[in-house]
Amino acid sequence: MGMTLAEKILSQKLGREVRAGDVVIIPVDLALVQDGTGTLTFDVIRQLMGKDTLKHPDRAMIVLDHLGPPGRPEYAAMHKRLRDFVKATGCLLADVGEGISHVVISERYVKPGDVVVGADSHTNTAAGMAAFATGMGSTDTAVAMALGKQWFRVPETIRFELRGSLPVGVSSKDIILHIIGTIGEDGAVYKAMEYGGETIQHLSMDARFTITSMAQECGAKLGLFPSDEETRRWMQRHGREKDWRPLAADPGAAYERVIAIDCAALVPLVSVPHTPGNVKQAAEVEKEGIRVDQVFLGTCTNGRLEDLQAAAQILKGRRVAQGTRLLVYPGSRWVYHEALREGYIQILEEAGAVIGHAACGPCPGMQFGLLSDGEVCVATQNRNFKGRMGNPNSFLYLASPATAAATAVEGKITDPRRFLA
């Protein structure tokens, strides 16, 4: 019997066949923490090992993406602790301004077939390049960093067959919002979500990372795309073609279920407060005339070059509506520089956007772009739980970059298709 992609990655890593339901101890290729979770992780490492030490420092990474530059003394103290850990252990560091952890590791380090863990729930973003990448708690990540390995239960797999061409104005964000709205936020608990079908041949790596970023929003262990020619081209652009290899599920693999998605029938979607699964058509929400105070373009879900391009396409020659703020945070320094070179940053800035540094920005609600009581924000991020952006008395809607840009122009939630006809 053939193997699912999750089974194949873990089998190849172990050098023996494993199947869904097996419990295995696997070597870890990269263990990740960010500045919001790092100090907790390192406290556990010190308890386990008696000092700051790592089995494989070259496979452990700290990314300062949530709290930098520090806006409070306690954040500065956390950063000092993290930098001291780097000096003590020799592990990898992406400092303030280099980008969001999930974007940076995909650009620089992760390879098809890798096993990646991180003390951040959206570590599964990197699974868009056929890596077994998943988030876990700080204690489990500490074990992986200290010992270089971690245990897993091999997940069952739900296969999503994506068929048909995406209509104008519809993107990968709409695909994953449709899936979450269909199967529910607990519809894939501890499952691998594997993507196939003819549509994926036309999905860029940026688009694939958007989909895998939100696997956690329906409870999944991870979402997986195969490694194919698109993966190779993307790695080549980042100077890492030598790390590429093809990797896909086998014909005849056993799936828990197979769900077909007619992508040609999709329309722009919006997740309305206060859960990602509360999905409605953007055209229907537009009829409600919901006034928007802030639009946020960025995050590990939609802060890549293709996302800034989609927003710039709509905002070129237009202005952000009076009374609406547009915040743009590129996902990495590479994205920022490429967006500068392509002219997207200038288009967005001339439209009235505030351009932030390469970081998580307002998404975690810690120090940037906080909302006041009663304010409404449309964001391209992955979660809209109550208080997600720092204020439980605000209202957060999730949307694609195109929908976010159209909303910024109109000052109310807007279907982007009339801007793209």
pLDDT score, position 53: 85
Give residue 326's pLDDT: 98
Look at phi and psi of residue 193 and say left if phi exceeds 0, alpha if psi is from -120 to 50, else beta.
beta
**Radius of gyration of the chain, Cα coordinates, nearest whole angstrom:** 20
Residue 320 C-alpha from the chain's centroid: 26
Please tell me the distance from the alpha carbon of residue 44 to that of residue 104, in angstroms, as a whole number: 25
Q: Please give the CATH superfamily to which domain 273-419 belongs.
A: Aconitase, domain 3 (3.30.499.10)
List, in sequence order, the alpha helices (H) in 163-265.
172-183, 205-213, 229-237
Tally Cβ neighbours within 10 Å of residue 309: 17
- pTM recorded for the entire structure: 0.95
Cβ burial of 134 (10 Å; 0-12, 13-18, 19+) is buried
Same topology for domains 8-262 and 273-419, yes or no?
A: yes
Q: With contact defined as beta carbons under 8 Å apart, do 114 and 29 qualify? A: yes
Token readout for 363 is 């998404």
What pLDDT score was predicted for residue 36? 86
Neighbour count for residue 187 (Cβ, 10 Å):
18
Q: What pLDDT is stored for residue 268 in this prediction?
A: 98
Domain spans of the chain, in order of start: 8-262, 273-419
Q: Which of 251, 212, 1, 214 is nearest to 110 (CA)?
A: 212
pLDDT tens for the chain, residues 1 to 421? 899 999 999 999 999 999 999 999 999 999 999 998 888 898 899 888 888 889 899 999 999 999 989 989 999 999 999 999 999 999 999 999 999 999 999 999 999 999 999 999 999 999 999 999 999 999 999 999 999 999 999 999 999 999 999 999 999 999 999 999 999 999 999 999 999 999 999 999 999 999 999 999 999 999 999 999 999 999 999 999 999 999 999 999 999 999 999 999 999 999 999 999 999 999 999 999 999 999 999 999 999 999 999 999 999 999 999 999 999 999 999 999 999 999 999 999 999 999 999 999 998 888 898 999 999 999 999 999 888 888 899 999 999 999 999 999 999 999 999 898 7
Q: Are strands 257-262 and 157-163 parallel, antiparallel or unpaired?
A: parallel
CATH superfamily of 8-262: Aconitase, domain 3 (3.30.499.10)
